[in-house]
């Protein structure tokens, strides 16, 4: 049996008024993309920052390649934080070269530029690039030491859909090189596309772990009915399935579509706006936590 690249056991982190990380444990095999999912405030970033060594743990054990973290760990990991202030008055290329020169083990500069699609902005001042371009530069900086383990903390937050998918393609390219990635995100579609295994967190605890396919097969075999209607809670509470109000629409999770539609029709509910879709990771989160994703 291979030693996990990262093994986290009974990790706890307190802040003055809240237990941000509440006795969580998980292992990550080498060469996969592991997703740590959940809404804002779930404890994802705190967990990652403790593992990275940015802040101390309250208690618990963190092993890297079977050993306590030390110099080797810091030399062999790459980190892309949620927000990083770049050194001023440098071009994109100068910024990347500066970070690359901080390490003894260096990734090939041309490979970094090509992987993260930086050619067109190499000579621009790093203060004058777009949000998506900055995220690609930050990703290149996280790869500057040719790391074995890469932390990506909500790398696509705030990006438009086109820039987000562009970054997904880069992550897929990194995965193809058998690197291990840890991705935190509250975008469930992102996790479903990129991650081989996921752990869903909320209020500092891990609710469940597994591959997206395994978890959906276990918890979400049915479908979600989505309709725009002023249905009263009194009627909805009679349904034997979970339901949620999401903005101006109602979502009903059911594994008995025909029966559900029949009951709604018997209650004279207008189904003209109804759509039916397979359940996804967001439905899984709602089912396990019983509430809408916080944003």
CATH number at residue 164: 3.40.50.300
Residue in 255, 253, 250 with CA at minimum distance from that of residue 230: 250
In whole angstroms, give the CA distance from residue 88 to residue 95.
9
Same-domain status, 140 and 44:
yes
* Window from 77-81, 114-118, 176-180, 243-247 with minimum mean pLDDT: 243-247
- Give the pair of three-digit tokens for residue 263: 């009951």
Q: Domain range holding 40?
A: 6-216
Three-class SS state of 232: coil
Start-to-end CA span in the chain (Å): 40
Same-domain status, 153 and 173:
yes
Q: Does 290 score more than 80 pLDDT?
A: no
Residue 140's Cβ-side half-sphere holds a number of Cα atoms within 13 Å equal to: 30
- Give the pair of three-digit tokens for residue 243: 């339901």
Band (pLDDT 50/70/90 cuts) for residue 295 is very low
Same-domain status, 212 and 241:
no
Residue in 183, 201, 179, 203 with CA at minimum distance from that of residue 192: 183
Per-residue pLDDT reduced to its tens digit, 10-19? 999 999 889 9
Instruction: Enter the pTM of the model.
Output: 0.84
Q: Does 1 score more than 80 pLDDT?
A: no
Same-domain status, 80 and 189:
yes
Per-residue pLDDT reduced to its tens digit, 64-101? 999 999 999 999 999 998 778 899 999 999 999 999 99
Same-domain status, 16 and 54:
yes
The total of other beta-carbon atoms located within 10 Å of residue 202's CB is 20
Same-domain status, 31 and 157:
yes
Per-residue pLDDT reduced to its tens digit, 22-60? 999 999 999 999 999 887 788 999 999 999 999 999 999
Residue 263 lies inside a defined structural domain of this protein:
yes
Bridge-based pairing state of the strands 180-185 and 33-37:
parallel
């Amino acid at each position: 049996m291979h030693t996990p690249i990262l093994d986290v056991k009974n990790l706890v982190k307190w802040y003055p008024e809240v237990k941000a990380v509440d006795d969580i444990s998980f292992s990550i095999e080498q060469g996969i993309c592991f997703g740590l999912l959940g809404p804002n405030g779930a404890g994802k970033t705190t967990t990652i920052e403790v593992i990275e060594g940015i802040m101390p743990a309250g208690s618990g054990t963190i092993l890297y390649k079977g050993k306590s973290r030390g110099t080797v760990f810091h030399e062999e990991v790459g980190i892309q934080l949620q927000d990083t202030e770049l050194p001023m008055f440098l071009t994109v290329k100068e910024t990347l070269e500066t970070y690359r020169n901080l390490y003894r083990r260096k990734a090939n500069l041309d490979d970094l530029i090509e992987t993260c699609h930086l050619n067109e902005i190499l000579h621009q001042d790093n203060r004058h690039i777009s949000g998506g371009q900055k995220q690609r530069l930050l990703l290149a900086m996280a790869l500057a030491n040719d790391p074995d383990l890469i932390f990506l903390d909500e790398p696509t937050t705030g990006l438009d859909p086109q820039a987000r998918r562009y970054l997904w393609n880069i992550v897929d390219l990194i995965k193809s090189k058998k690197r291990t990635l840890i991705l935190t995100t509250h975008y469930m579609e992102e996790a479903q596309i990129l991650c081989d295994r996921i752990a869903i967190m909320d209020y500092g605890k891990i609710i469940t772990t597994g591959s997206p396919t395994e978890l959906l097969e276990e918890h979400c075999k049915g479908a979600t009915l989505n309709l725009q209607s002023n249905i009263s809670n009194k009627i909805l509470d009679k349904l034997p399935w979970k339901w949620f109000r999401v903005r101006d629409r109602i979502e009903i999770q059911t594994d008995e579509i025909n029966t559900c539609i029949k009951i709604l029709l018997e209650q004279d509910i207008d189904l003209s706006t109804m759509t039916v879709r397979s359940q996804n990771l967001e439905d899984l989160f709602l089912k396990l936590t019983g509430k809408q994703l916080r944003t």
